[in-house]
Amino acid sequence: MKGIRVRSKVWLEVDGTPFLGDGRERLLRLIFSTGSISAAAREMGISYRRAWAQLESMEKLLSYPLATREKGGARKGETVLTTEALRLLERFDTLKKGVREFVDDKFEEFH
The stretch near a second copy (CB under 8 A) out of 30-38, 51-59, 72-80, 97-105 is 97-105
Closest separation between CB of residue 32 and a second copy, Å? 19
Whether the Cβ atoms of residue 68 and residue 79 lie closer than 8 Å to each other: yes
Near a second copy by CB under 8 A: residue from 47, 70, 75, 110: 110
Whether the Cβ atoms of residue 54 and residue 24 lie closer than 8 Å to each other: yes
- Contacts of residue 43, defined as CB under 8 A and 6 or more positions apart, other chains included, come to 30, 34
Residue 89 is a binding residue for a second copy (CB under 8 A): no
- Contacts of residue 26, defined as CB under 8 A and 6 or more positions apart, other chains included, come to 44
Residue 93 is a binding residue for a second copy (CB under 8 A): no
From residue 34 to residue 73, what is the string marking binding to a second copy with x (rule CB under 8 A)? ----------------------------xx----------
